[in-house]
Amino acid sequence: MHLQNTSIFRCDFSVIANPRALLHGQTFPTPSASHIVSVIAASKRRSNQKARRGHLKGMSTNQTQIPNQPGQPPFPANLVNLSRLVTAYYTLHPDATIPAQRVAFGTSGHRGSAFNTAFNEDHIAAITQAICDYRRDQGTTGPLFLAQDTHALSEPAFATALEVLAANNIDVMVDTDLAYTPTPALSHAVLTYNAQRKDKLSDGIVITPSHNPPEDGGFKYNPPNGGPADTTATKWIENRANEIISSGLTAVKKIPYAKALAASTTHRHDYITAYVDDLANVIDFAPLKNTPLKLAVDPLGGAGVHYWPRIAEKYLPSLQILNPNVDATFRFMTTDWDGRIRMDCSSPYAMASMIQNKEKYDVAFAADTDHDRHGIVTRTTGLLNPNHYLSVCIQYLFTHRPQWSEKVGIGKTLVSSSIIDRVAKGLNRPMLEVPVGFKWFVDGLIDGSLGFVGEESAGATFLRRNGQVWTTDKDGLIPGLLAAEMTAVTGKDPGQLYAELTAKYGNPVYERIDAAATKDQKAKLAKLSPQQVTAKELAGEPITAILTEAPGNHAPIGGLKVKTENGWFAARPSGTEDVYKIYAESFKGKDHLKQIQTQAQSLVTAAIS
């Protein structure tokens, strides 16, 4: 739902009283002032009462729902009710004494659904005011770049954020057409603005819950380095925002949206031209000129939907753009493993339609909703596992970027595949292994010491062709374009190139599973020391390392990693569920992987009991 003004959210009180009206196209007479007051009061009472018993679930009003089938399109009855979702955003108010309703910044900002009173206008007003206060505390006085993706809650959150930013007299850079802006385009904009400056630096806000379901919203802050904010910054903003909510939002400065848009501090910025025109400095398009390759991209209804036509026009006229439309219900997706809609371009369920049509294209690619993650589909292999494609990118880039220094290294998260370690060793390149979180790569990208960085969840970025920084946040567009480049240059698609790597370095089997754990057990796991693990062997092999800190920067990993010559596992507590996640890999096949997983659970249970 991309609307040029939010008057329907603020003024059509008949819709608030009957949120289904928007979907059915009903019109109503202009209500009187007394009627407006009564509707607001009644609406608030109903909202508070019905939310408690699950009334604002956001689905169709059908009483009987048929469960969605994984890998199949969702049933219409199960689609999110957009008008009710926006109503929940404006009418439900968080209780700061309830943990689930407080502002909570994870590795990718604050996320939640308005239905659960976890992502509502109060949250966004408080977070934005907290960011304004943080900027003053840090002396950040340049413009703030503001971006949004295509989730239904992103537009209302954009309006709320701009109202607060304008009231705080902060210069804000919004898209020329108030359109969607991918995360990497914002990172690129911040870095470009700050490149020749020592003071009055810019920063940014990206409004996105990434690939999360349609009913979710997300809000994250990127400091002047252009990448994800570190824990010190997010904790400061989180604490201040919760303090503001607890105090009844009295600290929030705010002006009406129309005035905020017209404010002298609100500026239009052409994100798309700046990003697209610069792409030739990170991707070599020369081998793709007049290419006979059949290429396709699916934006998955995300923030890059208007970027791909411009990319095709400038560099790849033969690029076919699949599903070029935006629909905030995301009804065009195939559902994920649990029947829910997620724009997860690394999931074989969410990508089922592209996999089914793999024979039509030499290479096809997709990106998630804010375009910071990638998915690669080839005719020979289907959907590549993210770990597999990361290793292919590394092998290709470090043999096809002659301007990169021989000292430039590789960055990976500690739950990424060990085939990356073997490829790095084969290339004689240094490797930095860090905890989960893209923020750990920022410094290495800025100073050019890391040429390629990636994580197992299909997030990556890499340097420009001249060895200078491109983005310091994940970029889901350039890995797809790189897949086209490497296929044109080598005559082999990424799936075939990965097969060559496995012939040389071994063929790993990788899987992530969940295991039940209480809150106390999760807390113990997060604080384990290597001495608490007494085992000497794992799946028949001697243990070579027991890690609770990342070897690349000695930062706590918030869990445990155990390694052998041909396998490893890592265990980390979930931040949202009573489980811990076990990542495991074996170079000796599926049976050996199962042994690792079984023994990993026993080993962890013994350590945290």
Q: Is residue 227 part of a domain?
A: yes
Give dist(CA 315, CA 274) in Å, integer: 15
- The answer to whether residues 347 and 312 touch, using CB atoms and an 8 Å cutoff, is no
> What is the per-residue pLDDT for 379?
96
Q: Is the pLDDT of residue 53 over 70?
A: no
Q: Is residue 34 part of a domain?
A: no
Q: Is the pLDDT of residue 62 over 60?
A: no
Q: Is the pLDDT of residue 50 over 60?
A: no
Residue at which a domain ends, from 242, 269, 296: 269
CA 493 to chain centre: 26
**Which pLDDT band holds residue 47 (cuts at 50, 70, 90)?**
very low
Q: Is residue 167 part of a domain?
A: yes
Is the domain of 514 the same as that of 499? no
Gyration radius (Cα) of the chain, Å: 24
Is the domain of 369 the same as that of 390? yes
- The answer to whether residues 150 and 328 touch, using CB atoms and an 8 Å cutoff, is yes
Count of the separate structural domains present in the chain: 3
Average pLDDT, the chain: 90
Is the domain of 129 the same as that of 202? yes
DSSP character string of 54-121: T----S-S-SS-PPPPTTSPPPGGGS--HHHHHHHHHH----TTSGGGS--EETTEEEEEGGGTSS-H
> What is the per-residue pLDDT for 65?
76
343-361: pLDDT as tens digits: 999 999 999 999 999 999 9
535-551: pLDDT as tens digits: 999 999 999 999 999 99
Cα 71–Cα 74–Cα 80 angle in degrees, nearest 5: 135
Q: Is residue 56 part of a domain?
A: no
Q: Is residue 218 part of a domain?
A: yes
Largest distance between two CA atoms of the chain: 78
Q: Which of 526-530, 576-580, 589-593 has the lowest mean pLDDT?
A: 576-580
DSSP character string of 209-231: -TT--TTEEEEEEE-TTSS---H
Residue 237 Cα distances to 107, 113, 135, 223, 243, angstroms: 13, 20, 10, 12, 10
Amino acid letter for position 118: A
494-529: pLDDT as tens digits: 999 999 999 999 999 999 988 888 889 999 999 988
> What is the per-residue pLDDT for 1?
35
CATH number at residue 156: 3.40.120.10
Q: Is the pLDDT of residue 48 over 80?
A: no
Q: Is residue 320 part of a domain?
A: yes
Is the domain of 500 the same as that of 513? no
Give the whole-number percent of the chain exceeding pLDDT 70.
89
Q: Is the pLDDT of residue 395 over 50?
A: yes
Q: Is the pLDDT of residue 290 over 60?
A: yes
Q: Quick one: average pLDDT of 325-340?
A: 96
> What is the per-residue pLDDT for 58?
47
- The answer to whether residues 525 and 561 touch, using CB atoms and an 8 Å cutoff, is no
Give dist(CA 377, CA 163) in Å, integer: 42
Q: Quick one: average pLDDT of 559-586?
A: 91
Q: Quick one: average pLDDT of 63-86?
A: 92
Give dist(CA 50, CA 152) in Å, integer: 22
Phi, psi of 521, rounded to the nearest 5 degrees: -65, -40
Is the domain of 405 the same as that of 292? yes
Q: Is the pLDDT of residue 25 over 70?
A: no
Is the domain of 302 the same as that of 215? no
Q: SS3 for 367?
A: strand
Q: Is residue 415 part of a domain?
A: yes
Which member of 43, 108, 113, 210 is catalytic?
210
Strand segments (E) across 260-370: 266-269, 295-298, 320-321, 363-367
Is the domain of 193 the same as that of 90? yes
Is the domain of 470 the same as that of 601? no
**Which pLDDT band holds residue 63 (cuts at 50, 70, 90)?**
very low
Give dist(CA 601, CA 210) in Å, integer: 30
> What is the per-residue pLDDT for 384?
97
Q: Is the pLDDT of residue 263 over 50?
A: yes
Q: Is the pLDDT of residue 143 over 70?
A: yes
**Which pLDDT band holds residue 107 (cuts at 50, 70, 90)?**
confident
> What is the per-residue pLDDT for 55?
53
Q: Quick one: average pLDDT of 296-322?
A: 97
**Which pLDDT band holds residue 56 (cuts at 50, 70, 90)?**
low
> What is the per-residue pLDDT for 516?
87
- The answer to whether residues 366 and 298 touch, using CB atoms and an 8 Å cutoff, is yes
Residue at which a domain ends, from 488, 505, 522: 505
CATH number at residue 596: 3.30.310.50
Q: Is the pLDDT of residue 490 over 70?
A: yes
Residue at which a domain ends, from 230, 245, 269: 269
pTM above 0.75, yes or no: yes
Is the domain of 498 the same as that of 569? no
Q: How many CB atoms lie within 10 A of CB 315?
A: 17
Give dist(CA 462, CA 483) in Å, integer: 13
Q: SS3 for 526?
A: helix
Give dist(CA 437, CA 418) in Å, integer: 18
Is the domain of 173 the same as that of 254? yes
Q: Is residue 493 part of a domain?
A: yes
Q: Are strands 431-434 and 363-367 parallel, antiparallel or unpaired?
A: unpaired
Q: Is the pLDDT of residue 6 over 60?
A: no
Domain interval for residue 328: 275-505
**Which pLDDT band holds residue 576 (cuts at 50, 70, 90)?**
low
Is the domain of 291 the same as that of 430? yes
210 is catalytic: yes
> What is the per-residue pLDDT for 514?
87
- The answer to whether residues 151 and 158 touch, using CB atoms and an 8 Å cutoff, is no
360-377: pLDDT as tens digits: 999 999 999 999 999 999
Is the domain of 355 the same as that of 283? yes
